[in-house]
Copies of this chain bind each other. A is one copy, B any other.
Amino acid sequence: MKKKLNIAVLGSGFMGKAHSNAWLMAGKFFDVPFEPVLKINFGTDMELTKDFADRWGYEEITADWEEAVNRKDVDVIDIVTPTYIHKEMALAAANAGKHIFCEKPCAVTYAQAKAMADAARNAGIVHYLNHNYRRVPAVAYAKEMIERGKLGTIYHWIGTYLQDWIMDPNFPLTWHLQDKFAGGGPLFDLGSHSIDLARFLVGEIESVTAVSQTFTGERFLPGRGAATFASGESLNSEKGQVTVDDACFLMAEFENGALGSIGTTRFAGGRKNHNTFEVYGSKGSLCFNFDQMNELQFCDMTEPDADQGFKTISVTNAVHPYCSAWWAPGHVIGYENTFFHAVADFLNAVSTGKTIEPNFFDGEKITRTLEAAKLSNREGRKVKVAEINA
Residue ranges of A at the interface with B (Cβ–Cβ < 8 Å): 14, 18, 21, 24-25, 27-28, 55-56, 141, 155-156, 158, 160, 162-165, 167, 209-213, 215, 231, 247, 249-251, 253, 257-261, 263, 265, 267-274, 278, 280-285, 290-295, 298-299, 301, 304-314, 316-320, 327-337, 380-382
Asked if residues A306 and B293 are in contact (CB atoms below 8 Å), the reply is no
With a CB–CB cut-off of 8 A, which chain B residues contact A156? 247, 265, 267-268
Given contacts A163-B330, A333-B334, 18 further A-B contacts (CB under 8 A): A24-B28, A156-B265, A156-B267, A211-B251, A212-B259, A213-B259, A247-B259, A269-B280, A269-B282, A269-B301, A272-B314, A273-B331, A274-B330, A306-B317, A309-B313, A311-B311, A312-B312, A331-B335
**Contact among B25, B209, B290, B336 for A333, CB-based, below 8 A:** B336
7 inter-chain pairs at a CB distance below 8 angstroms, sorted by A residue, are A167-B301, A267-B280, A269-B301, A270-B285, A305-B317, A306-B313, A334-B337
Known: A28-B21, A163-B330. A209 touches B310 (CB 8 A): no
3 nearest CB pairs, A to B: A272-B330, A273-B330, A270-B299
Chain A binding surface SS class = mixed
Asked if residues B334 and A213 are in contact (CB atoms below 8 Å), the reply is no
- Oligomeric state, in copies: 4
> Smallest Cβ distance from A252 to chain B, in angstroms?
8
Known: A280-B265, A327-B335. A270 touches B301 (CB 8 A): yes
The CA-CA distance from A376 to B259 in the complex, in Å, is 15
Asked if residues A332 and B335 are in contact (CB atoms below 8 Å), the reply is yes
> Smallest Cβ distance from A223 to chain B, in angstroms?
20
The CA-CA distance from A141 to B308 in the complex, in Å, is 13
Closest chain B residue to A380 by CB distance? B382
With a CB–CB cut-off of 8 A, which chain B residues contact A253? 211, 213
> Smallest Cβ distance from A14 to chain B, in angstroms?
7
Closest chain B residue to A331 by CB distance? B335
Asked if residues B333 and A319 are in contact (CB atoms below 8 Å), the reply is no
With a CB–CB cut-off of 8 A, which chain B residues contact A21? 25, 28
Known: A261-B261, A268-B280. A28 touches B14 (CB 8 A): no
The CA-CA distance from A225 to B267 in the complex, in Å, is 49
With a CB–CB cut-off of 8 A, which chain B residues contact A331? 272-273, 334-335
> Smallest Cβ distance from A263 to chain B, in angstroms?
5
The CA-CA distance from A329 to B267 in the complex, in Å, is 14
Known: A251-B211, A263-B158, A299-B269. A311 touches B314 (CB 8 A): no
Closest chain B residue to A57 by CB distance? B28
Known: A14-B328, A320-B306, A335-B332. A291 touches B314 (CB 8 A): yes
Asked if residues A316 and B215 are in contact (CB atoms below 8 Å), the reply is no
Closest chain B residue to A250 by CB distance? B251
Closest chain B residue to A152 by CB distance? B269
With a CB–CB cut-off of 8 A, which chain B residues contact A215? 155, 257
> Smallest Cβ distance from A287 to chain B, in angstroms?
9
The CA-CA distance from A212 to B212 in the complex, in Å, is 20
The CA-CA distance from A292 to B28 in the complex, in Å, is 25
Asked if residues A327 and B14 are in contact (CB atoms below 8 Å), the reply is yes
